[in-house]
Every structure is written in structure tokens, then in C-alpha cells.
Amino acid sequence: MADGTAVTGAAGVVAGRDLHSGAVRWSYRRDRPLCTVAAAFHQVVAVYHRSETCGEVTTLGWDDGRRGPQRTGPVETPTQLVSAGNQVAATGRRYLEVWRSDLVRTLVYGRLPTPVQPATQPRPDCVHDSMTLSNGKQAGGKLAVVEKCPGESVRLTVQRADPKEPDHPEVIFSTLLSGQQAQVIALSGERAAVVLPDPARLAVLDGQGKEVAEYPLAVPDAELRGAPPRGLADVTQTPTEVYWFTGSVTVALDTGDLRPRWTRAGSLGAGSEVAGRLLLPVPGALAVLDTTTGKQLGALPVDRGGYRGPVGTASSGGIVLEQRGDTLVALR
């Protein structure tokens, strides 16, 4: 949400709603199901089903819903979008894409549906378990992918998000990790953070793929096994912190060296910052935390009725939004 507008997507409709009243300011409808919708470069990016793929992509103006650049392509279903700077990536277990703000494709990676030139992809037979994207200002426009390839342990590959040719990946490093399961959490500068189970730990790698630090985590191993939903860890990033929600624990990482600063068990989401504090969803409330130490400074009671699942949050103009499953709730 931004500028007094919250954007929602359901069935084939994307709607911009007044942040205070929920009234529809504008809407965009297609006669096909919506795969996913996300905010990127102060626009709305809507992805619709096309045949067996999530192949129709449209940008919409945040304030008025005016249609902008569009594209079609073989994006896998299901997919989810992650944005950084002027780029957005669409996840996929076998195939993923990165687009810039005019929806020109800057990278394709994985098993290309119709390869123009064979053998341009380094690992077309691998499965993508998780990924993250960094913007050019912080990390040179990079895409990190955790891959499971036949006959080897889990692998982390970091590459340019905008190589000279979209179908010729420019890999910065690709390294095997110690274990069969991992999730990539964040990229920052020349650092990458991945988490591994059994035992639960966070490993930090440098720009050559060498592990430079490892930290034990007070996180249930079960929450680190397997791939996160649609290939993206639940992360909120600010200029100073990365907040990662594991499923029952929120972990704050320093954006500089990606070391864990604090953990909070029993949380319901990654939270969002308001006026220099973190509003963290917890059972029955929004806890107000010091962003540096994680110390609780107060709590705002919230009645969520019978809802017991994860809670996504965002804030703007004195309004806090909570996403509870398929329901969006505005709190004043």
C-alpha cells in the first residue's frame, strides 16, 4: 500500500482501494484467473493465467489503475513475485524470469520451454527451492537461487539479474552447501544468507561463495526443511534490518553483514516498521519492539476473532493493514 491506496487481487480482479474506507477507487478485470499480484517500482504488477502457465503480465498505475507495459511468457504456475529496485522476478520450480520496470525480460534461468540456443543454461535439470533478488544500489542487481540438482547436495547460485543476454546467465558463484536442504533469506552487498536445518543455523557467504560466518538459530528444524511457499522466504527488508518469519519465530538480521541481531518466538509474521519501531503480529496484539534489540516496548491489542494463522502487515499514513489468509483488515 502507498499514497492512501491499498491494492487487492481476487479471482480475475485487481482493485485499488481507499486506505481509510476500503472503497474501490479503480479496478482492472480480466476474464481469466489471477495468478498473483505485487507492488514493484511504484506500480502494480498483475500476473494472469494463460493456458497452462501464468503467462500474461500487466502493469497498472498505483493511483489510477491505468494500464502500462504488458508482456506474455511461459511463467510457471504457481508463481510469486519479488521486487528490488527497478526489477521484479517471478518464481518457478524449474524456470524463472526477471523483468525490468518496462517488463522487458532481463534474465531467464532454468529449463527453457523453447530454447533458442541449446546449452546456454548451466543447470537446466535442477529444481529451484527458493530465491531472492537484490537491487543494483545494494548489491549490483543479483539473483540468488537455492537449487537441488541430480546427484549432489543442495546448491546456492548467485548471478547477475541483468546479464548482457537474457538467456545467457552470468553466474557470480555457484557453490554446494553442507546438507540436503536450505533456504536463501537475503542478499546484501557482497553477502548472502542461507538457513539450514539439523541443526538450525544461518550461514553467511561472501562474494566468492565462501562461508565467512555461521550462527546457531533458536528455530524449529521442521520450519527450515523443504522449500518455502512458492519459493520465497517471508522477509521484510528495511535500510537497516532484514526481518524473517520462519513460521513461529521472527529473526532480525543486520543488513550489513547479515548476522542475526535477535529472535522473537511465538510471533505470527515478519512485521513492519512504523516511526522507527517494529510492529510485530503476535497472538492477540501487535507487539511494539525496539528494532535494534528486539525488546518489547509495548503492545496494541488486536482482536482477530478465530483466526490463528500467519499475519502479514504493512503500514502507511497511520493505518496498519493485516492480511489474515484471504482477508485484509485495516487497523487505525
Which pLDDT score is estimated for 137? 59
Domain boundary among the residues 175, 207, 232 is at: 232
For residues 45 and 37, is the Cβ–Cβ distance under 8 A?
Answer: yes
Based on the domain organization, do 113 and 203 belong to the same domain? Answer: yes
Q: What is the CATH number of the domain that holds 178?
A: 2.40.128.630
Domain that holds residue 37: 1-78
For residues 283 and 294, is the Cβ–Cβ distance under 8 A?
Answer: no
Based on the domain organization, do 84 and 227 belong to the same domain? Answer: yes
Query: How many separate domains does the chain show?
Result: 3
Domain boundary among the residues 191, 213, 232 is at: 232
CA-to-CA distance for 224 and 247, rounded, in angstroms?
A: 9
Based on the domain organization, do 106 and 207 belong to the same domain? Answer: yes
Based on the domain organization, do 135 and 56 belong to the same domain? Answer: no
Which pLDDT score is estimated for 291? 97
Dump pLDDT digits (tens) for 36-58. 999 999 999 999 999 899 999 99
| CA-CA-CA-CA dihedral for 83, 98, 159, 165, to nearest 10 | -150
Residue for cell digits 533469506? 185
Which pLDDT score is estimated for 316? 86
Which is nearest to 147 in space by CA: 122, 177, 173, 126? Answer: 126
Based on the domain organization, do 317 and 267 belong to the same domain? Answer: yes
Which pLDDT score is estimated for 332? 86
How much is the pTM?
0.94
Based on the domain organization, do 201 and 280 belong to the same domain? Answer: no
Q: What is the CATH number of the domain that holds 61?
A: 2.40.10.480
Which pLDDT score is estimated for 136? 64
Based on the domain organization, do 224 and 276 belong to the same domain? Answer: no
Domain boundary among the residues 211, 232, 253 is at: 232
Compute mean pLDDT per 10 residues along the chain, 332 residues long, and list them.
Answer: 88 94 96 95 95 95 96 95 95 96 96 80 95 74 96 96 95 95 95 97 97 98 95 94 98 96 98 95 98 98 96 92 96 90
